[in-house]
Structure 1
Amino acid sequence: MNLPTRSVLVTAALTTTLFPLSATSNEYAHDRAKVTETLGGEDYSPYAGRDFPTVPLFGDTHLHTAVSVDAGTMNKLGQEEAFRFARGEEVTTTHGLRAKLSRPLDFVVVSDHAEMYGLMPQLLSGDPEILSTPLGKKWYENLTAGDPALAFDTAMEIVASLSDDVVPIDNPKATKKAWQAYTALADRYNDPGVFSAIIGYEYTTEGANNLHRNVLFRGDSDDANRTIPFSQYDSKNPEDLWTYLADFEARTGSEVLAIAHNGNLSNGRMFSMNAYDGSELTVEIAEARARFEPLYEATQIKGDGEAHPALSPEDAFADFDTWDAANLNGTELKTPDMLPGEYARSALKRGLEIESTLGVNPFKFGMIGSTDSHTSLSGFEEDNFFGKHSGVEPEPDRWKHEVIAAPDPDLTIYGWKQAAGGLAGVWAQENTREAIFDAMMRKETYATTGSRMLVRFFGGWSFTEGDTLTRLPADAGYRKGVPMGGDLSAGPDGAAPTFLMAALRDQYSGNLDRIQVVKGWMDADGETQEKVYNAVWAGDRALDANGELPDVGNTVDVANATWTNTIGAPELLGVWQDPDFDPTQKAFYYARVIEIPTPRWTAYEARRFGVEMDETVPMITTERAYTSPIWYTPES
Structure 2
Amino acid sequence: MAAGAALALVACGDTGNDTAADATAPEPAEVSEVTAAETVAPETESVAPVAAAPADTMATDVFWGDTHLHTSDSADAFAFGARLGPEAALKFASGEKVTSTTGTEAQLSRPLDFLVIADHAEGLGVTREIYNGNPALMTDERLARWSKMLQAGGKESAQATLELIDGHTKGTNPEVLGDPKVMGPILKNLWQSRGDLIEQYNEPGTFTAFVGYEYTSVPKGDNMHRVVVYRDGPEITNNVFPFSSTVSEDPADLWTALEQYEAKTGGQVLAIPHNSNLSNGRMFALVDFEGAAIDAEYATRRARWEPIVEVTQIKGDSESHPFLSPNDEFASYGDAGWEDGNLNIVGNKTPEMLSGDYVREALKRGLTIEKDTGVNPFKFGMIGSTDSHTALATADSDNFFGKHTGVEPGKRRANKTDGGGSSDGIRRLGWQYLASGYAAVWARENTREALFDAMMRKEVYASTGPRIQLRFFGGCDFVAEDAEASDFATRGYAKGVPMGGDVAACADGAAPSFLVHSVMDPDGANLDRVQIIKGWVDANGETQEQVHDAVWSDDRVRDADGKVPDVGNTVDLSGPSWTNTIGAAQLATVWTDPDFDPTQRAFYYVRTIEIPTPRWTAYDVVRYGTELPEGAELINQERAYSSPIWYDPA
- Per the alignment, residue 148 of structure 2 pairs with 142
- Per the alignment, residue 224 of structure 1 pairs with 237
Aligned pair partner of 2:472 in 441, 457, 460:
457
The C-alpha deviation readout for 1:406-431, integer Å capped at 9, x for no partner, is: 7777x321110000001101001100
Aligned pair partner of 2:216 in 204, 208, 212:
204
Q: Partners of 2:531 and 2:205 in 1: how far apart? A: 33
Q: Partners of 1:137 and 1:596 in 2: how far apart? A: 51
Tell me: CA distance 1:611–1:480, structure 2 relative to 1, closer, same or farther (3 Å).
Answer: same
- Per the alignment, residue 68 of structure 2 pairs with 62
**Secondary structure, in 3 states, of the residue corresponding to 2:263?**
helix
1:430 is the counterpart of 2:430:
no
Matches within 5 A, 1:67-86: 67-73=73-79, 74-86=81-93
Aligned pair partner of 1:179 in 191, 200, 206:
191
Matches within 5 A, 1:222-371: 222-322=235-335, 323-330=338-345, 333-371=348-386
Q: Partners of 2:325 and 2:153 in 1: how far apart? A: 52
Moved more, 305-314 or 324-333: 324-333
Aligned-partner residue type, residue 299 of structure 2: A
Q: Is the 8 A contact 2:133 2:144 kept in 1?
A: no
Q: Compute the TM-score of the two structures, normalised by the length of structure 1.
A: 0.89
1:492 is the counterpart of 2:507:
yes
Q: Compute the TM-score of the two structures, normalised by the length of structure 2.
A: 0.87
The C-alpha deviation readout for 1:61-120, integer Å capped at 9, x for no partner, is: 111011000111111111111111111111111111111111100001000000011113
Aligned-partner residue type, residue 286 of structure 2: M
Moved more, 157-166 or 246-255: 157-166
Moved more, 140-149 or 494-503: 140-149
Q: Partners of 1:553 and 1:331 in 2: how far apart? A: 34
- Per the alignment, residue 93 of structure 1 pairs with 100
Q: Is the 8 A contact 1:135 1:168 kept in 2?
A: no
Aligned pair partner of 2:482 in 450, 453, 467:
467
Q: Partners of 1:503 and 1:145 in 2: how far apart? A: 50
Aligned-partner residue type, residue 221 of structure 1: P
1:626 is the counterpart of 2:638:
no
Q: Partners of 2:567 and 2:372 in 1: how far apart? A: 43
**Secondary structure, in 3 states, of the residue corresponding to 1:558?**
coil
Pairwise CA distance, 1:392: 0.7
Task: Show structure 1 runs of 5+ residues with no match.
Answer: 1-39
1:534 is the counterpart of 2:549:
yes
- Per the alignment, residue 12 of structure 2 pairs with none
1:399 is the counterpart of 2:414:
yes
Q: Is the 8 A contact 1:165 1:233 kept in 2?
A: no
The structure with the larger Rg is 1
**Secondary structure, in 3 states, of the residue corresponding to 2:217?**
coil
Aligned-partner residue type, residue 187 of structure 1: E
Aligned-partner residue type, residue 519 of structure 1: K
Tell me: CA distance 1:136–1:80, structure 2 relative to 1, closer, same or farther (3 Å).
Answer: farther
The C-alpha deviation readout for 1:204-223, integer Å capped at 9, x for no partner, is: 01162110000000010012
Aligned-partner residue type, residue 114 of structure 1: A
Q: Partners of 2:417 and 2:316 in 1: how far apart? A: 16
The C-alpha deviation readout for 1:161-197, integer Å capped at 9, x for no partner, is: 3232675422111111111111111101111000000
**Secondary structure, in 3 states, of the residue corresponding to 2:199?**
helix
Q: Partners of 1:122 and 1:190 in 2: how far apart? A: 28
1:578 is the counterpart of 2:593:
yes
Percent identity of paired positions between Structure 1 and Structure 2: 51
Aligned-partner residue type, residue 250 of structure 1: A
1:381 is the counterpart of 2:392:
no
Q: Partners of 2:54 and 2:542 in 1: how far apart? A: 47
Q: Partners of 2:147 and 2:639 in 1: how far apart? A: 48
Tell me: CA distance 1:152–1:524, structure 2 relative to 1, closer, same or farther (3 Å).
Answer: closer
**Secondary structure, in 3 states, of the residue corresponding to 2:286?**
coil
Pairwise CA distance, 1:158: 2.8
Q: Is the 8 A contact 1:262 1:296 kept in 2?
A: no
Tell me: CA distance 1:573–1:42, structure 2 relative to 1, closer, same or farther (3 Å).
Answer: closer
Aligned-partner residue type, residue 407 of structure 2: V
Q: Partners of 1:336 and 1:499 in 2: how far apart? A: 34
Q: Is the 8 A contact 2:364 2:536 kept in 1?
A: yes
The C-alpha deviation readout for 1:379-409, integer Å capped at 9, x for no partner, is: 2100010111111111111111012267777
**Secondary structure, in 3 states, of the residue corresponding to 1:560?**
coil
